[in-house]
Amino acid sequence: MDKFDVLSRYFGYTAFRKGQEEVVDCLLSGGDSLAIMPTGAGKSVCYQVPAIMLSGITIVISPLISLMKDQVNALVQQGIKAAYINRSLTDSQYDRVLKNAAFGAYKIIYVAPERLDSSDFTNLCRKIKISMVAVDEAHCVSQWGQDFRPSYLNVNKFISKLSKRPIIGAFTATATDEVKNDIINILKLNNPKVVTTGFDRPNLFFSVLRPEKKDSKLISLLKGRSDKSGIIYCATRKKVETLCDFLIEKGFSATRYHAGLSNEERIKNQDDFVYDRKTVMVATNAFGMGIDKSNVSYVIHYNMPKNLESYYQESGRAGRDGQEADCILLYGASDVQTCRYFIESAEPNPQLTPEQNEAFKQREEERLKHMIFYCRTSDCLRGYMLKYFGDEAEENCGKCSNCLTKFETVDVTIQAQKILSCIIRTGQKFGAAVISDVLRGKKNEKIKYYELDKQSTFGIMRDAEQTEIRHIIEKLEEQGYIIFVGAGKPIIKVTEMSYPVLKGKAKVKIKKTIKIKSKKKTAEQAADSPLFNILKQIRSEIASKKGVPAFLIFSDASLADMCKKLPVTPEEFLSVNGVGENKLNQYGDRFISAISEYAAKNDVIPDNQNSNKLNKSELGSAYEPWIEKETEKLRFEYELGMSIGKIAKNHGRTRGAIRSRLKKEGLIEE
């Protein structure tokens, strides 16, 4: 069996995705590889295909128990012999897995890094043939990353104890140079082939909104998505709790997750979400790593995260199944203060020197700045993010809120001069709120106390809205005329760039929104089809009988493909994205009979031209090209005396469709 056979037979995919084949080839030829691919790109296939083809066992090191269980479940569903070892197993289960492994019962064993220390396990591994070690979430070896796990430092020691050095594959979605070098050095990869696919996730739609009231905006966003699964990230535990309560009160099927909850509650809530018993997960950033739920259709950030790395990782949990998904960030100015506070008050890392800690903090500040600019930019959001990660990007992606918004450039030099001079005259020791109050002539306590009402700039922008002044202040920062200094409530200082503006020698221009076009998703979602719901129902019956999450039976993408292709034979069923032989054997009959029944009842034909599915009432003009191409053949076959079933098969159509065609041609009676 070659790699393509394995891919189609076990995984049901017709082709490798970008980067996958290169990694597979490298590992199969005995070389080490480091694959840097965004979430959802399909890293698992890169080591699972070689694992099946190599002669011995592959050990997969994976950091989170929940992820392991799901991955192993998925493999078993696909007919691949796999097991996992972590502390969720009882002693007797553990012994059984070790015994089975010694007999060669598995091709793939997932282990938690903590296990690499245990002597039972290393003894076993010395006895059996280990062809490959795949290190998932490999960035966990790096102290520079967000998710450093000291136990990852044991990986190399473990490998050196094996009787023969296996092939090593490392996989991550994080790609800063420091992390990349750490992975190569700490795991001692041998001249590895580094495969980077780029960061773009074409199926994600990015938007940044600046609602007056986040709660009501959120409700309106959720209302249009009640049948979809989604995650709402909040900055604090407290916000998670109040927001989750609020959503439940409003009738949404919400649950919550943060590190302050008991272990039981966390597991229960997570399962409710993964198993589709609850559709909305309200969580802090503690939720997500290791949650392998592929049908998350939106990720909303109620608060701005502290850097783009986190944002990319968290928002990237949407659309892992390749379906269209939304990443929405609700930005508010106070988010900036919360982030600055988190950076300032973070405990120093005892493993780093004070200088290193200080450098780390400064880098965090720098990263925050990029996050803020992402929220405020009027350029393409996808482009901003891709460039930040070192990718090339087109100017206009056409698939983010900025690309769908029109902007006009306006000259705000006069306003900028007023703001800058107010900052200077008040001594460069106040924040944006005070400056805007002075400019608007507000006589509040603070202003009276500091006697700011006696300043010459007091009230010189009386007619301006507070939001307008704020907006210009933000743009002045973005363009480098001012900087914010300090944490909590930072003060504004002017930079050298502002002097030419004050002297009238330079102009300040900003982009202003004209109007937002309504968003239209590019791909029609099969999810609107009644058949999709029928298939979903069957899937959920099977899943609950087996006690596994629904997406392990079939992903939404597979169901959508069924709605498109309407497979009624086993061969046709195999052509569905994500259907391999094992799934065909296990579930083929049930799905095929439901599809045949639906197709016959509604007289639908498969969508071969990638257009929307057609049914009787819609045949009309879409019917014509079909006739042109095929009528002659169809007539010929019918006149030869071929059965309708046979003709249907020849044309890849349902019988109903052929019958209605023949009727239309006047060959058979109504």
Q: Which residues bind ligand ADP (CB under 6 A)?
A: 13, 16-17, 20, 37, 39-45, 294, 320-321, 555, 577
> Pick from ligand ADP, Zn ion, none: which does 400 bind, CB < 5 to 8 A by kind?
Zn ion
* Shortest distance, position 290 Cβ to ligand ADP, whole Å: 11
CB of 75 to ligand ADP, least distance (A): 11
Structural contact between residues 131 and 109, judged by C-beta atoms closer than 8 angstroms: no
Distance CA 562, CA 573 (A): 8
Q: Closest separation between CB of residue 620 and ligand ADP, Å? A: 34
Q: How far is the CB of 14 from ligand ADP (least distance, A)?
A: 7
Structural element, H or E, at residue 233: strand 229-233
Minimum CB distance to Zn ion, residue 206 (Å):
7
Task: Give the bridge partners for 664, in sequence order.
Answer: none
Number of residues in contact with Zn ion under rule CB under 5 A: 5
How far apart CA 344 and CA 362 sit, in angstroms, is 10
Query: Residue 294 touches which of ligand ADP, Zn ion, none (CB < 5 to 8 A by kind)?
Result: ligand ADP
Place of tokens 């128990």: 65
Task: Report the residue number, 77 or 86, with the smaller CB distance to ligand ADP.
Answer: 77
At 8 the three-state DSSP class reads: helix
Nearest approach, Cβ of residue 58 and ligand ADP (Å)? 15
Residue whose CB is less far from ligand ADP, 436 or 555: 555
Indicate the residue among 386 and 416 with the shorter CB distance to Zn ion. Answer: 386
Partner residues linked to 261 by β-bridges: none
20 or 279: CB nearest ligand ADP:
20
17 binds, among Zn ion, ligand ADP, none (CB under 5 to 8 A by kind): ligand ADP
β-sheet with 229-233: strand ranges across: 204-209, 325-330, 296-301, 229-233, 280-283, 254-257
> With CB cut-offs between 5 and 8 Å by kind, which of Zn ion, ligand ADP, none does residue 37 bind?
ligand ADP
Which residue, 13 or 158, has its beta carbon nearer to ligand ADP? Answer: 13
Report what 599 binds from Zn ion, ligand ADP, none; CB cut-off 5-8 Å by kind.
none
> Could you say which of ligand ADP, Zn ion, none residue 382 binds, taking C-beta under 5 to 8 angstroms by partner kind?
Zn ion
SS (H, E, C) 313-364: HHHCCCCCCCCCEEEEEECCHHHHHHHHHHHHHCCCCCCCCHHHHHHHHHHH
Nearer to ligand ADP, 294 or 436 (CB): 294
44 binds, among Zn ion, ligand ADP, none (CB under 5 to 8 A by kind): ligand ADP
Would you say 598 and 604 are in contact if contact means Cβ atoms under 8 Å apart? Answer: yes
In 3D space, the residue among 658, 614, 37 whose CA is nearest the CA of residue 320 turns out to be 37
Closest among 299, 376, 384, 293 to 332, alpha carbons compared: 376
Query: What is the rounded distance in angstroms from the CA atom of residue 533 to the CA atom of residue 526?
Result: 10
Cβ pair 168, 183 in contact under 8 A: no
The C-alpha atoms of residue 146 and residue 135 are separated, in whole angstroms, by 17
Q: Based on CB atoms, which residue is closest to ligand ADP, 19 or 383? A: 19
Q: State in angstroms the smallest separation of the CB of 201 from Zn ion.
A: 13
What is the 8-class DSSP label of residue 33? E
Joined tokens for residue 3: 């790699």
Measured from the CB atom, the residue of 230 and 290 that comes closer to ligand ADP is 290
Give min distance, CB of 42 to ligand ADP, in A. Answer: 3
Can you read off the two tokens belonging to residue 109?
């064993």
Report in angstroms how near the CB of residue 370 gets to ligand ADP at its nearest. Answer: 24
For 282, the enclosing helix (H) or strand (E) is: strand 280-283
**Minimum distance from CB of 412 to ligand ADP (Å)?**
43
Q: Encoding tokens for residue 599? A: 């197709």
Smaller CB separation from ligand ADP, 7 or 592: 7
Whichever of 301 and 565 has its CB closer to Zn ion, that residue is: 301
Beta-ladder partners of 407: 513
- Of residues 575, 567, 615, the one with CA closest to residue 593: 567
Place of tokens 């008040």: 426
Residue number with CB closer to ligand ADP (426 or 577):
577
CA atoms within 13 A on the CB side of 246: 14
Q: At what angle do helices 381-388 and 354-376 cross, to 10 degrees?
A: 160
Contact between 327 and Zn ion per CB under 5 A: no
**Residues in 378-407 that interact with Zn ion by CB under 5 A:** 380, 382, 397, 400, 403
Provide the 10 A C-beta neighbour count for residue 231. Answer: 24
On whether the CB atoms of residues 171 and 37 are closer than 8 A, the answer is yes
User: What one-letter code names the amino acid at 587?
Assistant: Y
Find which of Zn ion, ligand ADP, none residue 397 binds, CB within 5 to 8 Å per kind.
Answer: Zn ion
Indicate the residue whose CB is closest to ligand ADP.
42
- At residue 648, the 3 state secondary structure works out as helix
Instruction: Report in angstroms how near the CB of residue 3 gets to ligand ADP at its nearest.
Output: 11
630 by DSSP, 3-state: which? helix
CB of 291 to ligand ADP, least distance (A): 11
Measured distance CA(487)–CA(365) in Å, rounded: 10
Residue 39 interacting entry, from Zn ion, ligand ADP, none, C-beta within 5 to 8 Å by type: ligand ADP
Nearer to Zn ion by C-beta: 72 or 397?
Answer: 397
Q: Which residues contact 272 (CB under 8 A, 6 or more apart)?
A: 255, 278
Residue 16 interacts, among Zn ion, ligand ADP, none and using kind-specific CB cut-offs from 5 to 8 Å, with ligand ADP
Looking at the Cβ atoms of 281 and 447, the one nearer to ligand ADP is 281
Closest approach, Cβ 435 to ligand ADP, in A, equals 45
Report the interface residues with Zn ion, using CB under 5 A: 380, 382, 397, 400, 403
